[in-house]
């Protein structure tokens, strides 16, 4: 096997930094050390090597400056002028940079912006995607997912199956299930609707943390007779009980049932994705019942046996699951067992969006670096006279390199400073804008490694591109290297390089601008979103009836109707209705159904739809139009035929071309059997937030026929009505004080959450697009104007031969146009190929949209013509003899 070698580029840089006498020896030694590091990881070794190049660079530069002023053999000029000399050199370099703001400002801005954007996204990637979960040995935690062929991507679990798997598997040491479940808490302080959950004891064993006080659930504390205990989260214990340890052992009521507080969980206890739960009660279902196997509404979490690899565990559990499917009817052919690291489950949908943005931003950084390289190259060519003079005065190649290096370092420091500020600002902005649903946002913060990343990339970019022109020269001796740059502009190779740079810059800019333009069009889609109903004056409050006070379902339904009546009588209230969900919020409960005309369909082939229950007048209250038939009404009671309303999409998909009203559909019941319902109305679709995404089919049945203990009250108030929340609360509590009420929110507040995610993506996308456009324009201008400036001599010659300025201008622009066209064509192909990167961010517009592409190309053409015209015009105005003399 060949020995690992350090990257060539950095090896050349290293050699350039070293004194000639020892150059080869040191490079070989460092290669030997690199070989050792590489045995422990290639990436680390390369990073280490880059660090060494920087270390050698500055140490030997410093050594050289000091030894020039040597006063004794060993400690050259330490006390005398060492520092002063260095400062003087730095000042000179700084002055030289400040004298050329047309170079320095774009270079610092481009690099700073590119770096700041990528460091911000790197921080997010690190905090959200890479940082392990804050639980002991969190890499062993997995989510067990029962996945159904018809419920793509949904990971759910049931208590009975999870228990069987954990008991029979050798790959799992513990596991259990949990989910949110609202309870109304009543204690010596008062009544409160809790953000609570239910779980089985195995869940806590799997998480692997000891209680702060008291104990966790015992193994037999589960099922209808074992759920008279409760565990408090640290937050609830502090907030409600003032951290009083004596609450452990006391009895409180949950939904009227007396339960004992058996323990308090530690502050760092979290069940990922269920972090918000403040109190846990054991699952009230008998884990050996059929219901416990069919009820798959849980997060199932398990801990792998140490040393067991995920694929092996997956294989074993897959086999066990198929065994369970044979034994239990509740697991039909459509079910599969999936298993994924818990971190993946937690990060879930956020990953593709973050990763595509990260790739886009890396592209941005790449182009930023490319722009800086172009700027540096242009500057080096412009300075060749200055450098030749230095060389003529006796400055060696090393000395000239040192000057260039010092300038590069200053440039890097400025860019890194800008980038650091941008990163802190960017991360703060990200946290402010990020949707509440984004997982692990608390873990996102700028840390040391991000700052090192900024420093290393800034320095490496500037050093590599700053010194490359000099290093790339074949003339390795004396100042000749720099003076030879003189010929770059004239030689055939030089022209080819320059044209290549222009074409590459144009192509990259096309890719970048096209991506940016697609994102801006997506942003427009969000801005013009209209849900299809009237949000003004609409308020929502959740209400939970206590099972103890309202044990009978029919009585409960009458009770809800009575509350609705009372609320309608309030002054200023225009309309009131009830529903189990509101548009775009929840309604996540899905069911399969058999439509009329689908009698022959196989059980497994039945379509599914989301549903929620609604009360009379619900759509009128919302302002959603009834397109055909009617809404559910008070007349649709428990004893009258079951009715259902569907949305437009449902009607169109289920009975294409026909009328939906009057037809029937059947849904399976939890208790077995089916319920046949007649469609009495079709209502308009509520448009999804994401532009271009189709509406989902939805079913709404009457909560007067299938009522539940929890409901939402929707209240529409006339404009200017005061204290809606307080009056609604007083009214409901006046009728039944045992009702737990949530906080009343306006519809706008409620829609904030589903809107926040897309809006956040859109804002990020907008920022990206703006940066992309800025970088592309700066880069194009820099490259083209440099290129045209190089043509100065040719222009001078032509004019000396008698060409008129307009004619010269036309020729130059003609050349620029042909170069631009080549670049744009290559770029367009690249743009169409690279849209995959942005796909999860682009909505409502095709990722290969021809109008956007055409606009992008037009813009690039305009910018490049402008970038070519300005320096060309300037050149035609200058006296030709002067131009020729300069050359």
Interface residues toward other proteins, by CB under 8 A: 19, 22, 25-26, 28-30, 32-33, 52, 55-56, 59-60, 63, 67, 70-75
Q: Which of 417, 531, 416, 407 is nearest to 466 (CA)?
A: 407
- Compute the least distance from the CB of residue 62 to other proteins, in Å: 8
Is residue 708 within 8 A of residue 545, CB to CB? The reply is: no
Q: Which is nearer to other proteins, 72 or 552 (CB)?
A: 72
Q: Which is nearer to other proteins, 30 or 414 (CB)?
A: 30
- Compute the least distance from the CB of residue 16 to other proteins, in Å: 14
**Torsion angle (degrees, nearest 10) of CA 48, 51, 52, 58:** -170
- Compute the least distance from the CB of residue 458 to other proteins, in Å: 20
Dihedral angle sign, alpha carbons of residues 544, 546, 551, 554 = negative
Angle at the Cα of 192 (from 159 to 739), degrees rounded to 5?
90
Q: Which is nearer to other proteins, 35 or 607 (CB)?
A: 35
Q: Which is nearer to other proteins, 56 or 298 (CB)?
A: 56
- Compute the least distance from the CB of residue 148 to other proteins, in Å: 56
Q: Which residues pair with 341 in a beta bridge?
A: 142
Q: Which is nearer to other proteins, 32 or 753 (CB)?
A: 32
Dihedral angle sign, alpha carbons of residues 208, 213, 219, 221 = negative
**Spatial separation of the C-alpha atoms in residues 272 and 131, rounded to whole Å:** 14
Q: Which of 107, 22, 8 is nearest to 59 (CA)?
A: 22
- Compute the least distance from the CB of residue 450 to other proteins, in Å: 23
Q: Which is nearer to other proteins, 55 or 693 (CB)?
A: 55
- Compute the least distance from the CB of residue 45 to other proteins, in Å: 14
For the chain, the residue count is 887
Is residue 473 within 8 A of residue 485, CB to CB? The reply is: yes
3-class secondary structure, 587: coil
CA distances from 793 to 575, 604, 887 (A): 80, 78, 7
Q: Which is nearer to other proteins, 33 or 878 (CB)?
A: 33
Q: Which is nearer to other proteins, 30 or 283 (CB)?
A: 30
Q: Which is nearer to other proteins, 68 or 882 (CB)?
A: 68
Q: What residues have CB less than 8 Å from 416, skipping those under 6 apart?
A: 112, 115, 454, 455, 458, 459
Q: Which is nearer to other proteins, 37 or 798 (CB)?
A: 37
- Compute the least distance from the CB of residue 68 to other proteins, in Å: 12
- Compute the least distance from the CB of residue 782 to other proteins, in Å: 34
Q: Which is nearer to other proteins, 29 or 603 (CB)?
A: 29
3-class secondary structure, 747: helix
Q: Which is nearer to other proteins, 58 or 328 (CB)?
A: 58
Is residue 410 within 8 A of residue 419, CB to CB? The reply is: no
- Compute the least distance from the CB of residue 440 to other proteins, in Å: 35
Q: Which is nearer to other proteins, 18 or 706 (CB)?
A: 18
- Compute the least distance from the CB of residue 64 to other proteins, in Å: 10
Q: Which of 401, 554, 544 is nearest to 14 (CA)?
A: 401
- Compute the least distance from the CB of residue 63 to other proteins, in Å: 5
| Burial of 872 (C-beta count, 10 Å sphere; 0-12/13-18/19+) | buried
Is residue 180 within 8 A of residue 174, CB to CB? The reply is: no
Q: b/e per residue, 480-491, with b = 16+ CB within 10 A?
A: ebbbbbbebbee
Tokens 């050996």 map to which residue?
A: 288
Q: Helices (H), strands (E): how many in the chain?
A: 26, 25
Dihedral angle sign, alpha carbons of residues 95, 101, 103, 108 = positive
Q: Which is nearer to other proteins, 12 or 817 (CB)?
A: 12
Q: Which of 675, 668, 623 is nearest to 644 (CA)?
A: 675
- Compute the least distance from the CB of residue 78 to other proteins, in Å: 10
Q: Which is nearer to other proteins, 75 or 810 (CB)?
A: 75
**Spatial separation of the C-alpha atoms in residues 766 and 759, rounded to whole Å:** 10
- Compute the least distance from the CB of residue 27 to other proteins, in Å: 10
- Compute the least distance from the CB of residue 14 to other proteins, in Å: 10
Written as six digits, the tokens of 835 are 């849209």
- Compute the least distance from the CB of residue 4 to other proteins, in Å: 15
Q: What residues have CB less than 8 Å from 744, skipping those under 6 apart?
A: 539, 540, 541, 724, 725, 728, 729
- Compute the least distance from the CB of residue 72 to other proteins, in Å: 5
Q: Which is nearer to other proteins, 67 or 804 (CB)?
A: 67
Q: Which of 1, 6, 59, 299 is nearest to 176 (CA)?
A: 299
Q: Which is nearer to other proteins, 54 or 679 (CB)?
A: 54
- Compute the least distance from the CB of residue 3 to other proteins, in Å: 10
Which contacts (CB < 8 Å, 24+ apart) does range 820-823 have?
820/506, 820/860, 820/861, 820/864, 820/865, 822/503, 822/506, 823/502, 823/503, 823/504, 823/505, 823/506, 823/507, 823/509, 823/510, 823/860
Q: b/e per residue, 536-557, with b = 16+ CB within 10 A?
A: ebbbbbbbbbbeeebeeeeebb
User: Within 13 Å and on the Cβ side, how many CA atoms surround 257?
Assistant: 18
**Spatial separation of the C-alpha atoms in residues 379 and 387, rounded to whole Å:** 11
Tokens 């069911």 map to which residue?
A: 591
Angle formed by the axes of helices 805-834 and 747-790, to 10°?
140
């Amino acid at each position: 096997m060949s020995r690992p070698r350090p990257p060539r580029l950095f090896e050349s840089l290293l050699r350039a930094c070293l004194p000639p006498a020892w150059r080869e020896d040191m490079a070989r030694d460092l290669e030997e050390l690199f070989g050792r590091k590489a045995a422990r990881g290639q990436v680390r070794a390369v990073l280490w090597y880059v660090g060494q190049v920087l270390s050698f660079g500055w140490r030997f530069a410093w050594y050289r400056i000091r030894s020039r002023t040597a006063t004794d053999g060993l400690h050259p000029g330490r006390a005398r002028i060492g520092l002063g000399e260095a400062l003087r050199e730095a000042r000179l370099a700084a002055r030289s940079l400040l004298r050329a703001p047309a170079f320095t400002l774009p270079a610092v801005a481009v690099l700073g912006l590119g770096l700041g954007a990528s460091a911000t996204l790197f921080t997010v990637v690190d905090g959200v995607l890479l940082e392990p979960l804050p639980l002991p040995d969190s890499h062993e935690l997995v989510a067990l997912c029962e996945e159904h062929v018809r419920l793509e991507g949904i990971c759910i679990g049931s208590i009975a199956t999870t228990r069987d798997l954990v008991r029979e598997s050798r790959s799992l040491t513990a596991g259990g299930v949990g989910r949110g479940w609202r309870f109304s808490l009543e204690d010596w302080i008062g009544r409160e609707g809790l953000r609570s959950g239910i779980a089985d004891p195995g869940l806590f064993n799997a998480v692997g943390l000891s209680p702060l006080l008291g104990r966790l659930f015992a193994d037999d504390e589960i099922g209808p007779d074992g759920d008279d205990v409760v565990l408090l989260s640290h937050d609830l214990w502090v907030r409600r009980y003032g951290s009083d340890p004596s609450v452990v052992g006391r009895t409180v009521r949950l939904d009227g049932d007396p339960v004992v507080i058996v323990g308090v969980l530690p502050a760092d206890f979290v069940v990922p994705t269920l972090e918000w739960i403040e109190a846990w009660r054991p699952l009230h279902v008998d884990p050996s019942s059929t219901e416990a196997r069919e009820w798959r509404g849980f997060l199932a979490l398990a801990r792998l046996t140490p040393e067991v690899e995920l694929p092996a565990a997956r294989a074993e559990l897959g086999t066990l699951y198929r065994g369970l499917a044979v034994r239990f009817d509740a697991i039909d052919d459509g079910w599969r067992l999936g298993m994924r690291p818990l971190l993946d489950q937690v990060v879930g949908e956020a990953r593709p969006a973050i990763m595509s943005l990260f790739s886009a931003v890396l592209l941005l950084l790449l182009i930023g670096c490319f722009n800086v390289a172009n700027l540096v190259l242009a500057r080096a060519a412009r300075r060749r006279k200055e450098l030749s003079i230095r060389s003529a005065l006796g400055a060696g190649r090393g000395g000239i390199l040192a000057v260039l290096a010092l300038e590069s370092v200053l440039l890097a420091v400025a860019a890194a400073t800008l980038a650091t500020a941008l990163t802190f600002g960017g991360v703060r902005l990200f946290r402010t804008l990020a949707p509440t649903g984004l997982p692990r946002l608390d873990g996102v913060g700028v840390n040391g490694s991000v700052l090192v990343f900024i420093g290393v990339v800034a320095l490496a970019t500037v050093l590599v591109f700053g010194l490359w022109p000099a290093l790339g020269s074949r003339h390795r001796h004396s100042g000749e290297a720099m003076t030879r740059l003189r010929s770059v502009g004239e030689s055939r190779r030089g022209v080819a390089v320059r044209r290549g740079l222009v074409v590459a810059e144009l192509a990259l800019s096309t890719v970048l601008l096209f991506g940016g333009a697609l994102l801006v069009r997506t942003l427009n889609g969000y801005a013009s979103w209209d849900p299809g109903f009237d949000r003004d004056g609409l308020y929502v409050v959740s209400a939970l009836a206590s099972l103890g006070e309202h044990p009978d379902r029919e009585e409960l339904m009458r009770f809800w109707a009575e509350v609705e009546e009372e609320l309608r009588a309030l002054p200023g209230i225009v309309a009131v209705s009830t529903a189990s969900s509101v548009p775009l919020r929840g309604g996540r409960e899905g069911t399969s159904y058999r439509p009329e005309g689908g009698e022959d369909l196989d059980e497994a082939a039945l379509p599914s739809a989301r549903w929620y229950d609604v009360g009379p007048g619900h759509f009128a209250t919302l302002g959603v139009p009834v397109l055909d038939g009617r809404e559910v009404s008070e007349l649709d009671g428990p004893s009258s035929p079951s009715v259902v309303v569907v949305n437009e999409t449902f009607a169109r998909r289920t009975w294409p071309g026909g009328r939906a009203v009057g037809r029937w559909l059947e849904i399976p019941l939890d208790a077995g059997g089916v319920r046949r319902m007649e469609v009495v109305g079709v209502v308009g679709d509520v448009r999804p937030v994401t532009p271009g995404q189709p509406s989902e089919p939805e079913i709404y049945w009457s909560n007067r026929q299938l009522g539940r203990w929890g409901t939402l009250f929707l209240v529409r108030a006339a404009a200017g009505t005061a204290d809606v929340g307080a009056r609604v609360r007083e009214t409901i509590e006046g009728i039944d004080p045992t009702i737990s009420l949530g906080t009343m929110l306006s519809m706008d507040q409620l829609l904030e959450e589903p809107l926040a995610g897309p809006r956040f993506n859109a804002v990020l996308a907008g920022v990206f697009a703006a940066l992309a456009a800025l970088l592309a324009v700066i880069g194009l201008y820099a490259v083209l104007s440099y290129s045209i400036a190089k043509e100065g001599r040719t222009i001078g010659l032509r004019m000396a031969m008698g060409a008129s300025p307009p004619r010269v201008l036309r020729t130059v622009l003609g050349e620029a146009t042909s170069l631009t066209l080549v670049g744009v064509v290559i770029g367009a192909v690249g743009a169409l190929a690279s849209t995959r990167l942005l796909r999860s961010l682009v909505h409502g517009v095709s990722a290969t949209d021809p109008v956007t592409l055409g606009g992008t190309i037009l813009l690039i053409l305009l910018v490049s013509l402008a970038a070519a015209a300005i320096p060309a015009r300037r050149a035609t105005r200058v006296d030709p003899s002067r131009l020729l003399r300069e050359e």
